[in-house]
Amino acid sequence: EDKVVQSPLSLVVHEGDTVTLNCSYEVTNFRSLLWYKQEKKAPTFLFMLTSSGIEKKSGRLSSILDKKELFSILNITATQTGDSAIYLCAVVTFSGGYNKLIFGAGTRLAVHP
Amino acid sequence: SQTIHQWPATLVQPVGSPLSLECTVEGTSNPNLYWYRQAAGRGLQLLFYSVGIGQISSEVPQNLSASRPQDRQFILSSKKLLLSDSGFYLCAWSDIGGPTAYEQYFGPGTRLTVT
């Protein structure tokens, strides 16, 4: 059975700290890995990673994929209170004739001032 | 630019009552459309997906159904709600092909409480 596991499930840090969120997966027909940030409502898209070893960066956020070891990490440097959210990892698999997203349970990040 | 709408934003319904949630997408044509449910403290579970008008596939057996009467309209329904149907329902869209086909974009969601 395809699965995506995120760790830690929750994390509490102070502003200015650097955090690393983990996502490991076991799926058939891997296509891509996506990271989303979910605050109060809809998840918002952060990154899509398809190739190993190529870092994606957006401001203080960066992410990398290791297709050999089947995991990805999301780094956030110099955290701010606005980074408080649930971070979701999703793996795209090709199944039943379409691209399907399998989500992890998420990491709940709380950044305190 | 593309936008996705869902309504209502919140809903409280008694057990056994019917349900209709609506999702519409603007600014794109022929999108793939998806319904997800997010239970408290859990990841998103795919319920239905659609690659075109009238084409619906179900991922999990349940008392919910979906319909796509127009290209950019996706509806989630139930004839009789169960307590276990409570949750946060999210609609999403993606391009059919091309480099962005893997990226799914989510609507604001509907929080359903069945009492």
Average pLDDT value over all residues in chain A:
94
Model confidence at B42, in pLDDT bands (50, 70, 90)? confident
Query: Could you tell me the residue ranges of all domains in chain B?
Result: 3-114
Chain A: give the shortest CA distance to residue B22, in Å.
Answer: 15
Helix (H, G, I), strand (E, B) or coil at A55: coil
Residue B32's pLDDT band (cuts 50, 70, 90) = very high
Asked if B109 lies within 8 A of A105 by C-beta distance, the reply is no
Q: Which of A82-91, A104-113, B35-44, B96-105 has the lowest mean pLDDT?
A: B96-105
Per-residue model confidence as pLDDT tens digits over B11-29: 999 999 999 999 999 998 8
Contact call for B90 and A43, based on CB within 8 A: yes
CATH fold for domain A3-105: Immunoglobulin-like (2.60.40)
Write the pLDDT tens digit of every residue in B78-101.
999 999 999 999 999 998 877 677
Domain B3-114 falls in which CATH fold? Immunoglobulin-like (2.60.40)
Q: A101 near B106, Cβ under 8 Å?
A: no
Question: Could you give the CA distance from residue A69 to residue A52 in angstroms, rounded to a whole number?
Answer: 10
A62: which 2 tokens?
Answer: 């960066």
Report angle CA A79, A43, B36 to the nearest 5 degrees: 150
Q: Does the distance separating the beta carbons of A32 and B102 come in below 8 Å?
A: yes
B60 at A interface, C-beta within 8 A: no
Task: Give the residue-averaged pLDDT of A57-86.
Answer: 96
Residue ranges covered by each domain of chain A? 3-105
Q: Which two tokens stand for residue A44?
A: 């918002």
φ, ψ at A20 (rounded to 5°): -125, 120
Which member of A44, A98, A104 has the closest CB to residue B43?
A104
Q: Which residues of A touch B87 (CB under 8 A)?
A: none
